[in-house]
Amino acid sequence: MEMRIEKDSLGEVKIPSDRLWGAQTQRSFQNFKIGKEKMPIEVIRSFAILKKAAALTNYQLGWLEKEIADTIANVCEEILEGRLNDHFPLVVWQTGSGTQTNMNVNEVIANRANQILGKNKVHPNDHVNKAQSSNDTFPTAMHIAAVNELETKLFPAISLIKNILEKKIEENKDIVKTGRTHLQDAVPLTLGQEISGWYRMVERSEEMIRVGCQRLMDLALGGTAVGTGLNSHPEFGERVAGKIAELTSKKFKTAPNKFHSLTSLDEIVFAHGAIKGLAADMMKIANDVRWLSSGPRCGIGELNIPVNEPGSSIMPGKVNPTQCEAITMVAVQVMGNDVSIGIAASQGNFELNVFLPVTIDNFLRSVRLLSDAIVSFTENCLKGITPNKERIDYFLKNNLMLVTALNPIIGYDNAAKIAKKAHDEGITLKEATLKLKLLSEEEFDRIVNPVKMV
């Protein structure tokens, strides 16, 4: 492999000649051979957005000449287009401030800009990183990436499942079935009503995630090293946030207190907590589906699920709730990610949190996994669910908790006697009622009507 020599403050470093990164990137690449988790490309692209915004803002403020600012902006566009992906090799497990990734971006932009200009005019620190520090750029990139992934991946997935659930509510609004609490029989409801509970879970979680997304609009850029804004223009923070908002068409703004922005991850914790709430809801919905479709003959079997693939390597004809299993595993992973994020956020010592890469890696993984799983579950399972009306009617007719309708007429204690007698003797509620001489057959039929109980 052909190599070139570059220098930094520590001396000379050999770098592959076909790579645009510089000495600091190479040192990190060599010193942190930990795991396979590379810095998410979403973070790199977010850096490209903020570096472009910073260059254009510094030009407007008279801190960069136009040729340099425009060339930096052009290179950032190449990064956003994915043309330079191979030049960002660093792993998540690096310095906790993300300094090495910031320098990776600075070096790639500077070297590519010098290629375009045909001369060594752009310096990674003096120009690309002007008025910035890793300590304010990395938190800014985190917020940009988080908002973008929520808006382009998770919210569309939520819209998809909401649309399907709405259709299922309407389709099943007249199907009366047995309710269940504590995994025991309970009073009836319609299948549509049951599904409406699922719908509201998703809808409510979306509302809370959107609130979290709004909190992520505050950007740390302008705080530089410790929050004071040293080496930046007094107007830089506000102006660069406005430029980022313009470039992304999102309502980003400068954070009101940069000391907070550099040391606290509470916005990420808050937003991911709402994402974890959605994961918990999806766990509940998927578990309901697999309980209700269990069997099909020796379980509850009230729902029919799509047959997507053979369920067993030994038992012919077996169908398993595989989509339910996939999304519940994703839910478990999201919950684990939330623990990592919470612990990382607690480590903001003095003026800086140094658990930034692991935090955004877990956040973005949660968004990606949950978005993909919701789409898969919706398209390959939820959309194709149908009611097993025969099974639903069988359970409804044999549900002892229909006796609850008698409470206002004969009292709780007498109703309990009916239920107990029916259960002990294996007879119907009506038969038990008539044996106990508590009501006439006509009175019983008038009162105990499942359709009137939902």
If you write DSSP's letter for every residue of 382-414 in order, what string do you get?
GGG-EE-HHHHHHHHHT-GGGGGGGHHHH-HHH
DSSP state of 217: T
**Spatial CB neighbours of 141, under 8 Å, sequence gap ≥ 6:** 43, 46, 47, 50, 98, 360
| Residues assigned a catalytic role | 182, 312
Give 133's strand partners.
none
Helix, coil or strand: residue 228? coil
Beta-strand ranges (E) seen in 120-200 are: 176-181, 184-190
| Interatomic CA distance for residues 320 and 61, integer angstroms | 63
Our CA angle for 139, 142, 145, nearest 5°, is 150
DSSP state of 353: E
| Interatomic CA distance for residues 168 and 384, integer angstroms | 10
The answer, yes or no, to whether the previous bond of 450 is cis (omega within 30 of 0) is: no
**Spatial CB neighbours of 315, under 8 Å, sequence gap ≥ 6:** none
What number of CA atoms fall less than 13 Å from residue 44's CA on the CB side? 28
Q: What are phi and psi of 316, to 5 degrees?
A: -65, 145
Q: Is 175 left (phi over 0), alpha (psi -120 to 50) or beta?
A: beta
| Interatomic CA distance for residues 70 and 72, integer angstroms | 5
| Sign of CA pseudo-dihedral 198, 204, 207, 208 | negative
What number of CA atoms fall less than 13 Å from residue 11's CA on the CB side? 1
DSSP state of 317: T
Q: What value does the CA radius of gyration of the chain take, rounded to a whole number of Å?
A: 30
375: enclosing H helix or E strand: helix 356-380
Our CA angle for 42, 44, 48, nearest 5°, is 110
| Interatomic CA distance for residues 129 and 126, integer angstroms | 6
Beta-strand ranges (E) seen in 138-261 are: 176-181, 184-190, 218-219, 253-254
Buried-state track 331-342, b at ≥16 Cβ within 10 A, e below 16: bebbeebbebbb
